[in-house]
Amino acid sequence: MKLPRWFHQLGSPPYVYRLAERLSPWLGWSGCLLIAVGALWGLFGAPPDFRQGEVYRIIYIHPQTSYVGMMAYVVMAVAGAVGFIWRIKLAHAVAVSAAPIGASFVLCSLITGAIWGRPTWGTYWEWGDPRIMSQTLLLFLFLGYLALRASFEDRDKADRVSAILAVVGVVNIPIIHYSVEWWNSLHQGPSITRLDEPAIHASMLVPFLIMVAGFTFFFYWLLLNRLQGEIVERERDARWVQELVSGGRP
């Protein structure tokens, strides 16, 4: 299969390392900025919800963490697939870096959700609620992925085996998303991610979306940082890394 040049460039560790080095500050700062703006706007700018009052403002944290958690899994799976098919070690590096971050975001989603559940559903946790369960299983998938990696000592093997698991696990993502429609869940249906016009007022929607963007940038910032570490770890014998640690530029 013929691949474009940039694709091969993306296979070269030093190139990607430098790329990451250049991108990550932009991502980091813009992410923080967006989050700050979105948070302030959401907490003070946006009007209180006529039903939930002030509690609803968790909507500026919870969905975002949830989205990003799911996105992180997709990133991991896609990277894994690319690495497996074209035997690109770097893709595997991306997948590995994404896993713990994604897990943490999913955890945040669970926690914020639980906190939100107390006032709205009258319970922190509801076993058997499909949305909660499917999201929890997503967390388990991340953990399983990490556990599987941990039990191989040959990294190359670990890469390719865990990639297969990641790809298969993708089926869970649509289940999470549609769980609220397929089963009668306590969780409300899609109010923002709806194809027709969103069921929430613009004054709430804008900060919501700002937060989404902010969290997404934030995620990729973390990803790039971990990726850099992972690359150095994997290439520690390579000359450019030696130069790097000895102060030189790759």
Partner 1 sequence: MGAFRAIVLRDLRVAFRRWSEVANPFVFFAVVVALFPLSLSPSAPELRSIGVGVVWIAALLSSLLALDGLFRNDAEDGSLEQLLLSPVPFGVTVLAKIAAHWLVSVLPLVLLVPLSALSFRLPASGLPTLAFALLLATPSLSVLLALGAALTVSLKRGGAIIGLLILPLAAPLLIFGTRATDFALHGEPVAGPLYLLAAMAAAAVSLGPPAVAAALKVGLE
Please report, as ranges, the residues that interact with ligand HEM according to CB under 6 A.
Answer: 59, 62-63, 66-67, 70, 109-110, 113-114, 116-117, 120-121, 131-132, 135, 176-177, 187-188, 190-193
> How many helices (H) and strands (E) would you count in the chain?
9, 0
Amino acid letter for position 139:
L
Position 84 contacts partner 1 (CB under 8 A): yes
User: Site for partner 1 (CB under 8 A): which residue of 7, 8, 87, 151?
Assistant: 151
Residue 171 touches which member of partner 1, ligand HEM, none, C-beta under 5-8 Å by kind: partner 1
Provide, rounded to whole angstroms, the least separation between the CB of residue 238 and ligand HEM.
40
Binding segment toward partner 1, per CB under 8 A, in 31-39, 72-80, 122-130, 218-226: 122-130
DSSP 21-81: HHHHHHHHHHHHHHHHHHHHIIIIISPPBTTTBTGGGGGGTHHHHHHHHHHHHHHHHHHHH
Position 144 contacts partner 1 (CB under 8 A): yes
Nearer of residues 59 and 90 to ligand HEM, judged by Cβ = 59
219 neighbors 229 (Cβ within 8 angstroms) = no
Provide, rounded to whole angstroms, the least separation between the CB of residue 45 and ligand HEM.
18
Position 121 contacts partner 1 (CB under 8 A): no
* Cβ neighbour number for residue 47 with a 10 Å cutoff: 8
Q: Which of these, 109, 74, 66, 68, lies nearest to 95 by C-alpha position?
A: 74
Binding segment toward partner 1, per CB under 8 A, in 20-28, 98-106, 125-133, 206-214: 125-133
Distance, CA of 132 to CA of 110 (rounded, Å): 8
User: Site for partner 1 (CB under 8 A): which residue of 164, 188, 203, 229?
Assistant: 164
155 neighbors 146 (Cβ within 8 angstroms) = no
Position 127 contacts partner 1 (CB under 8 A): yes
How buried is 202 (Cβ within 10 angstroms: 0-12 exposed, 13-18 middle, 19+ buried)?
exposed
φ, ψ (nearest 5 deg) of residue 49: -75, 140
Nearer of residues 53 and 174 to partner 1, judged by Cβ = 174
Position 175 contacts partner 1 (CB under 8 A): yes
Q: Applying CB under 8 A, which residues contact partner 1? A: 84, 125-130, 133-134, 136-138, 140-141, 143-144, 146-148, 150-153, 157, 160-161, 164-165, 167-169, 171-172, 175, 183
